[in-house]
Homo-oligomer: A and B are copies of this chain.
Amino acid sequence: MIYSFMCDYSEGAHPVVLKAVADECGKQHGNYGIDECCDKAAALIKNSIHRSDADVHFLPGGTAVNLTVIAHALRPFEAVIAAKTGHIAVHETGAIEASGHKVVTVEGTDGKLTPKEVEDAVLFHTDEHMVRPAMVYISNSTELGTIYTKSELTALRKCCDEHGLLLMLDGARLFCALASVENDLSLADIAALTDCFYIGGTKNGALFGEALVILNDNLKTAFRFSIKQRGHLTAKGFLLGAQFEALFTDMLGLDIARHENKCAAEIANTLKDLDVPFFAPAQTNQLFPILPDVIAEKLGEDFELSIWKKYDASHSVVRLVTSWSTPQWAVDALNEKLTKLCK
C-alpha cells in the first residue's frame, strides 16, 4: 500500500498542535475544561466571530458533540431534521435515538438541506400523535464534501425562524468549508446564522477535540451538566484548550484546511481531465468520483480508499479524502495511477 486516502484522521496532530500539547504537559492546570488554556482558546474563538456573549465548550469528538447538544436542546417528544446522508442519520449507531429523539430525514441535495424540504417535514407533523420537529441539523462541509453558500444558509435560518426551529451546524470539517475557494461564509456569518455550531479539530490536525460554540442563550444554561452526563467532560480539558489555541493562533486551522483542499483539488482536476463524473461537486477535501468498479479495484491495490456506495451495475462512488499530513508525492502518485487507469 502506497498511501491511504481513507479519511482525514489517520495521522496524529500537526506538529504545531502537538507542540502546544507537549508544552502544557508538565504544568498544573484546572480540570474539566476550567483552565487557562480553555479560556485562551475560547477567547480567540469568540474574538474570531465577534461574539463575546458566546459560550465555548471543548468536547473530544464529533458524535459526542452531536448527541450532547441534541439531548440537551430537545424536549423528549421533539425531533431533529437532517439530510438522509447526515452523520447523525446514518453513521452514529443511533446515538440520537439512544438519547430518545427521532431523526426525521429528508432527501437533501449534494448532502445539503433546502428550506422547502425543512418546511415540508415540519408541516407533515401535525399533532401530538407525531413527534414535533424542533431542530435542523446540517453539516458544513457536508458528508459529501459540499459547502453551504451564504445565501443558502441565510434561507435556512429564515425557514427555521418561521417554524420555531433551532439550527445546529456540525462543523467537523468546518475549517475545510471555510477554506474552500468557493466559500463565501465567514465564521462570524455562521455564528450569526446558527444557534450553535462546532469547529472540528480531530479532522483538521488535532489529536482529538471539537470546539462547540453556543449562541442561543436557551442552550447555554447548564450545558456542562449535559457534557458530564454523556461522559464527554474531558478530565484534562486543558489539552483541548491548548490545541484550539494553536489552531486559532494565526489561523493555523485555516492553513491546514487550505492544504487539505489544495491536495484534493489537484486530484479532482486530474479526475475532471479524465472525464470522470462526480457524485457530488468537489469543493473541499472529500472527493466522490464515480469510477468503474474495475478501476476502483485496481486503484485500491495501491491506495486505501472507501467505496461510498454502488452507483450502478458496473460503477461505484469512491470516497477519497486528504488530510493535514497528505504529502505532495502521494497526491502525485495517485494522479499518475488514476491517469494510467482511466486513459
Contact = CB atoms under 8 A, between A and B. Distances in A.
Interface of A: 3-4, 6-7, 9-13, 15, 18, 21-22, 24-32, 60-64, 66-68, 71-72, 75-77, 79, 90-95, 97-103, 128-132, 202-203, 207-208, 222, 224-236, 238-239, 325
B100 A97 contact: yes
- Assembly stoichiometry (copies): 4
Given A130-B93, A231-B64, A25 B18 contact: yes
Nearest to A6: B31
A32 B207 CA distance: 13
A51 B250 CA distance: 50
Contacts of A24: 12
26 contacts: A6-B31, A11-B28, A11-B236, A12-B22, A12-B236, A12-B238, A18-B22, A61-B231, A71-B76, A77-B93, A77-B226, A91-B130, A92-B129, A93-B128, A97-B101, A98-B229, A102-B103, A128-B224, A128-B227, A128-B228, A128-B233, A129-B228, A207-B207, A207-B236, A231-B231, A231-B232
Given A93-B130, A226-B77, A3 B18 contact: no
